[in-house]
Amino acid sequence: MGREVAESCFDGLIIEMVSAYGRRFYATKPDLASRRIEAIGFQVGHQLIERYTVERPRFSDHLEAIKFICKEFWSELFKKQIDNLKTNHRVGTFVLQDNKFRWFTRVLIDPSSEDNEASQGSSSEATSMLLHFPCGIIRGALSNVGISCAVSADASNLPSCESGILVFALKFSI
């Protein structure tokens, strides 16, 4: 019943959405832009998890839900699973690590650098804007199965994002 779309269209859409919110709509307020992008991701994750948990039995605890996100949900979205999952039960945080984040393989950071430090700063700002969308997706997906948490992401090894490692940190509010 579904029709398929080329993945490059999807990549282009995300990059354009982030740049539209960051540079045109809320150019002077990057916090607001990042919150709007995260909210879009929230709704997408909320609806996607509905679709991907159809035939599954219900999750018995948080760990099972996170494992579902790491395996099935991530492979539906990015065709691979999360490479590394660490937990800290005491504090209630989970750390998800993806060694080759699919959306970054197409992101080109502008290498024009009149001033080396400035270009480094703006390239990391650009990728951090891009990161709010997958954070929102994870947060939306978890909230629909009844788990509320805060998600933050960190991309190390910039600007060579192709081999960059992306780390999502989930903090639970229970």
Stretch near another protein under the rule CB under 8 A, chosen from 45-53, 80-88, 98-106, 153-161: 45-53
**Smallest separation (angstroms) from another protein to the CB of 144:** 5
Establish if 144 lies at the interface with another protein (CB under 8 A). Answer: yes
Backbone angles phi, psi at 116, to 5 degrees: -60, -45
DSSP-assigned letters across all residues of 40-104: HHHHHHHHHHHHHTSSSPPP-SHHHHHHHIIIIIHHHHHSS--SEEEEETTTTEEEEEESS-GGG
Nearer to another protein, 9 or 54 (CB): 54
Establish if 146 lies at the interface with another protein (CB under 8 A). Answer: yes
| Of the residues 7, 13, 29, 56, which one makes contact with another protein according to CB under 8 A | 56
Angstrom distances, CA of residue 41 to CA of 58, 60, 119, 124, 161:
23, 25, 27, 20, 21
Establish if 50 lies at the interface with another protein (CB under 8 A). Answer: yes
Establish if 54 lies at the interface with another protein (CB under 8 A). Answer: yes
Stretch near another protein under the rule CB under 8 A, chosen from 40-48, 85-93, 128-136, 164-172: 40-48
Establish if 59 lies at the interface with another protein (CB under 8 A). Answer: yes
Report the C-alpha gap between 25 and 50 in whole angstroms.
30
Task: Report the chain's C-alpha Rg in angstroms.
Answer: 17
Establish if 53 lies at the interface with another protein (CB under 8 A). Answer: yes
Establish if 47 lies at the interface with another protein (CB under 8 A). Answer: yes
Stretch near another protein under the rule CB under 8 A, chosen from 57-65, 93-101, 120-128, 159-167: 57-65
21-52: burial string, b at 16+ Cβ within 10 Å, e else: bbeeebeeeeeebbebbbebbbebbbebbeeb
- Interface ranges with another protein (CB under 8 A): 1, 43, 46-47, 49-51, 53-60, 144-146
